[in-house]
């Protein structure tokens, strides 16, 4: 079992990121944590210790990320575990969402994650160890109505993590994509979830709105228990490349697998009709 002492956590001022940072600090880990607003991060964490390095960082600015990584190296000399947690939800039918809204969501959820990975890989390659945990969503495995753009960003995160695990293996670098279900955070409110700026009447769905409002504050997942899972993953010698987090995520995983198996079987004859006849 490995012991990873220096963590770098993005999107740490609320939600799963905040719960993880607080749990890590309570257990004596060294933690560098980032947010778009450093003051908000410090106020949220409420821990004053030399083990905590709060950083203001812009995920879509590579120079900002490089500066943050340099500060971590200067304070803690290394980085053992990276948690790419920062991101936001974008809801709306695909037709409703503007080009700018799509690009902004990909900039943060996908390209921001990639920017961090590129910045930390040289450190991990040099030390021949490290673990990168990318937070996606169960929507990154089974998309639903009106979350196509958000789901697309999280599908991308899952795919790049799978490749990262293969790329990093020769250097002792591990990669895990965590796909949570609904956790009792403020993700469904306070700016973490955005709706289409120009909604269309054709897609107006009061039942969908009621579903979201009814879920907020009643999610099954406990963020503190999720934090325990992240720590356990970091200590595993052979962690999974994909981890479906929460009972609701497991349910959606099995539904998708049943659908895939059913469709693959039903359409096997057609799908295998494309080979040359030798």
Q: Would residue 274 count as lying in a domain?
A: no
Q: Domain of 233?
A: 6-269
* Distance (Å) of CA 176 to CA 54, 68, 145, 160, 264: 24, 22, 26, 10, 27
Look at the alpha carbons of 198, 204, 207, 208 in this order and tell me if their dihedral is positive or negative: negative
Residue 89 belongs to a domain with what CATH number? 3.40.50.720
Average pLDDT over residues 38-65: 94
Tell me which residues are annotated as active site.
Answer: 150
The pLDDT, as a whole number, for residue 205 is: 75
Whats the size of the chain, residue-wise? Answer: 278
Q: Would residue 130 count as lying in a domain?
A: yes
Q: Would residue 139 count as lying in a domain?
A: yes
Among the residue ranges 22-26, 65-69, 188-192, 251-255, the one predicted with the least confidence is 188-192
Distance CA 122, CA 144 (A): 37
- pTM score: 0.92
Distance CA 63, CA 243 (A): 31
The pLDDT, as a whole number, for residue 1 is: 42
Q: Would residue 69 count as lying in a domain?
A: yes
- Inform me whether the pLDDT recorded for 25 exceeds 50: yes
Long-range contacts of 35-38 (CB under 8 A, 24+ apart): 35/11, 37/13
pLDDT digits 0-9 by tens, 224-258: 999 999 999 999 999 999 999 999 999 999 999 99
Q: Please give the tally of structural domains in the chain.
A: 1
Q: Cβ distance 206 to 146 under 8 Å?
A: no
């Amino acid at each position: 079992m490995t012991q990873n002492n220096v963590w770098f956590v993005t999107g740490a001022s609320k939600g799963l990121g905040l719960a993880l940072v607080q749990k890590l600090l309570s257990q004596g880990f060294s933690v560098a944590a980032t947010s778009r607003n450093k003051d908000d991060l410090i106020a949220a964490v409420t821990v004053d210790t030399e083990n905590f390095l709060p950083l203001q960082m812009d995920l879509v600015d590579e120079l900002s990320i490089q500066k943050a990584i340099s500060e971590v190296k200067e304070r803690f000399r290394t980085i053992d575990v990276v948690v790419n947690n920062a991101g936001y939800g974008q809801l709306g039918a695909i037709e409703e969402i503007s080009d700018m809204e799509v690009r902004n969501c990909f900039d943060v959820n996908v390209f921001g994650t990639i920017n961090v990975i590129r910045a930390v890989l040289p450190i991990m390659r040099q030390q021949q160890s490290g673990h990168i945990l990318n937070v996606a969503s169960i929507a990154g495995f089974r998309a639903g109505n009106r979350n196509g753009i958000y789901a697309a960003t999280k599908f991308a995160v899952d795919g790049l993590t799978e490749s990262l695990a293969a790329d990093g293996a020769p250097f002792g670098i591990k990669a895990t994509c965590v796909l949570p279900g609904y956790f009792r955070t403020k993700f469904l409110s306070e700016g973490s979830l955005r709706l289409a700026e120009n909604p269309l009447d054709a897609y107006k769905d009061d039942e969908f709105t009621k579903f979201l409002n009814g879920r907020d504050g009643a999610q099954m997942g406990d963020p503190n228990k999720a934090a325990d899972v992240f720590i356990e993953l970091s200590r595993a010698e052979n962690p999974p490349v994909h981890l479906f987090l929460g009972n609701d995520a497991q349910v959606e995983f099995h539904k998708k697998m049943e659908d895939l198996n059913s469709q693959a079987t039903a359409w096997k004859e057609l799908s295998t009709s494309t080979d040359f006849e030798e």
